[in-house]
Copies of this chain bind each other. A is one copy, B any other.
Amino acid sequence: MTNYDVLIVGAGPVGCVLAERLATISNKRVHLIDKRKHVAGNCFDEKHESGVLIHKYGPHYFRTNNKQLLDYLSNYTEWIEGNYYVTCKYKNEYYPFPINRLTINKFFDKNFTKEDEVKSFIESLSVNIENPINSEEFVLSRVGQQLYKAFYLGYTLKQWDLHPKELGPSVCGRIPVRYNEDCRYVDHLYQFTPKLGFTSMFNNMVNHKNIHIQLNKEFKELDRKNYKTIIYTGAIDEYFNYKEGKLQWRSLEFNFKEVKKEFVQKNVQINYSDEFKYTRSVEIKHVTKQECSNTVISYEYPTNNGDPYYPISNLENERIYEKYKSLAEQETKLNNVYFCGRLAEYKYYNTDEVIEKALALYEKITKND
């Protein structure tokens, strides 16, 4: 196969979904490349040298409210229940996180049993700030000083190397506060993990005669003239040779450590507010449910170097991104190049969200076919 209809740059969730749709539904010949040695992007999981299945680029807790999306992915994987529980360690005690009734009772030595009581109590703690303009103000206005200091301040400083004052309200504002005893990490209707892993799911998705996958392949190695349509899922500033400046990203370094025990932690993720350089320790075996006598813990060290993970939301970056966005719109009109995904849109997406974006782009591209 040498004559392609579409080039897709990046074989992460966006690239795989679009390759599958274009090949299966639209009968297109797709050239799918990735500069890494594997498909699945940051969802990539593999057996560590110890034999334990790990999430190489940080834990992916798949969840969605979109039944259609779940059904679509179910063509490529079986699922197991998503066992997503996070605790926060503070002054040597472990607390359920996000904050819920159990967190409050333990932290303040209370015995609340009703949601109303918890609600009133948290309201009594909250600082009266009408229009919070940063993450500190937002959290204070919601849960007050003590919980802010215990569960948000230290963690955020490590995660962003920025004070919550310097971050927009939404950064810490995404996390819910609950008045009941629900200890699940997220609220979504469907919380499932691919039974044999994400890599397996995405490999199954792109196993199609009309999809030619090339790994360890850079976009710049290819002659763009050979493709009528290009879908680009890489970093948008890189695409335009950084001519409007470099967008900043927060990155992570992972230290994976094997332990010859069945389990080390009580749950998949522990956040550390007041100790260690790493923000959190993740024992993904709680989620993968792999049966083995050993385990692997991953320690996450935030850094400004390395692979792009989190867009750093500030005015300067937003200004730069807006310029690239205009250039991208031109590029779509003139040269049939479509930009999609976290790196191309400079926007943090969960896995389900980014797959929704990919499916929407597929509809857009093929609307006039």
Contacts and interface: CB of A to CB of B under 8 A. Distances in A.
A178 interface: no
A47 B199 contact: no
Interface in A96-141: none
Contact of A210 (B49, B77, B197, B204): B49
Contacts of A25: 51
Interface in A74-97: 76-78
A24 interface: yes
B207 A46 contact: yes
Given A76-B196, A196-B76, A209 B23 contact: no
A203 interface: yes
Contact of A46 (B48, B77, B195, B208): B208
A332 interface: no
A64 B78 CA distance: 24
Interface in A182-209: 195-197, 199-200, 203-204, 207-209
A27 interface: yes
Nearest to A203: B203
B208 A204 contact: no
B200 A47 contact: no
Place the interface of chain A in its size category: 20 to 34
Contacts of A51: 23-25, 208
A209 B78 contact: no
Interface string A32-51: 00000000000001111101
B48 A209 contact: yes
A27 B46 contact: no
A168 B196 CA distance: 44
Nearest to A24: B51
B76 A47 contact: no
Interface in A1-54: 23-25, 27, 45-49, 51
Which of A47, A76, A200 has the most CB atoms of chain B within a 10 A radius of its CB?
Answer: A47
Interface string A265-277: 0000000000000
A226 B213 CA distance: 28
Given A24-B47, A47-B207, A47-B208, 4 more contacts: A78-B78, A196-B204, A203-B203, A203-B204
7 contacts: A27-B49, A47-B209, A48-B209, A49-B209, A51-B208, A197-B204, A197-B207
7 interchain residue pairs of minimum CB distance: A47-B208, A203-B203, A24-B51, A46-B207, A200-B204, A49-B209, A49-B210
